[in-house]
Amino acid sequence: MRFLASRRRHPAAKWLLLLFALFVLGGAYNAFAPAEQVSADTGNSQQVAQGRALFAVGCASCHGLNGEGQTTSTIQGPPLIGVGAAAVDFQVSSGRMPMSKPEAQAPVKPNRYTDDEIAALAAFVASLGPGPAIPAAADYDPASVKEEDIARGGELFRTNCSACHNFEGAGGALPGGKYAPSLIGVSNKRLYEAMLTGPQQMPVFSDEVMRPEDKRAVIAYLNDLHSRPIDGGLALGGLGPVSEGLWAWIIGIGGLVLFAMWITARGAKAK
């Protein structure tokens, strides 16, 4: 200590002390700073930049360069500010977006984007405004749903979904060429994202009102419904009176008409 005390007025002491303080500060910063977030942030901004570039090519012609939307010109697209990453993931991974032409409703078609590109697009759109994030597997995995919750999911489905999607989730028609698509074979993630974001004409079912466990119950109900064997013979698509009526009138009544024609037809004559 005497060594330090005797040299405290040495001309170099001030500089050495400054250097020491800087080392301590830098070391402490290194130790406490959230290093992962820093690196992720740079990664994210790269992702957003990549997403912006993809957006300008694939989406901007309808949705505007910054996702502000176009509602007055001939080519129209809704604003995407605040729709969130979940909406982008739903629309692009199912091939609905980008649309190939303006029409009543965007149909499902093969998706041309890689998972990384979809993630980049989603990151860019999410950066435009706060919106629902892409759900994690734990959100939509119905494995933990109990039997009684599956029954409750059925009640929720029939109250909220069956008006458009039919009681079996087989889909249905809407006015003006629009339609509610079939839910048979749709992945759990997409079911969850659709309820969360309300794509196209579908209303939104936000997490606060239709809680994540309610959504999982609906998904579990649909999985259960669609994995259940049909013991009644031909289900005819589960479309109710439409397909059953077609069957009854064409096959049923048609067959009876043919029989009646055979009964009254003039058979072979002798000359």
Contact 121, 88 (CB under 8 A): yes
Q: How far is the CB of 201 from another protein (least distance, A)?
A: 4
Contact 239, 246 (CB under 8 A): no
Q: What's the sign of the alpha-carbon dihedral 252, 254, 260, 263?
A: negative
Note the Cα 66 to chain centre separation in Å. Answer: 21
Distances (CA, A) of 30 to 26, 142, 254: 6, 42, 83
Task: From 136, 158, 137, select the one nearest 221 (Cα to Cα).
Answer: 158
Nearest-angstrom CA–CA distance, 174 and 178: 5
Choose which of 160, 182, 223, 243 interacts with another protein (CB under 8 A): 160
Question: Binding mask 94-133 vs another protein (x if CB under 8 A, - otherwise)?
Answer: ----------------------------------------
Looking at beta carbons only, is 60 or 195 nearer to another protein? 195
Does residue 22 bind another protein (CB under 8 A)? no
Does residue 257 bind another protein (CB under 8 A)? no
163-202 positions binding another protein, by CB under 8 A: 163-164, 172, 174-175, 178, 198, 200-202
Choose which of 21, 38, 235, 253 interacts with another protein (CB under 8 A): 235
Distances (CA, A) of 193 to 56, 163, 198, 234, 255: 24, 19, 8, 32, 46
With CB under 8 A as the contact rule, which of the stretches 28-36, 42-50, 95-103, 207-215 interacts with another protein?
207-215
**Identity of residue 89:** D
Does residue 1 bind another protein (CB under 8 A)? no
Q: How far is the CB of 78 from another protein (least distance, A)?
A: 7
DSSP state of 270: -
Q: How far is the CB of 175 from another protein (least distance, A)?
A: 6
Q: What's the sign of the alpha-carbon dihedral 156, 160, 163, 165?
A: negative
Looking at beta carbons only, is 112 or 211 nearer to another protein? 211
**Coil/strand/helix, residue 240:** coil
Does residue 155 bind another protein (CB under 8 A)? yes
Contacts with another protein by CB under 8 A lie at 78, 152, 155-156, 159-160, 163-164, 172, 174-175, 178, 198, 200-206, 208-209, 211, 214, 229-235, 262-263, 267-271
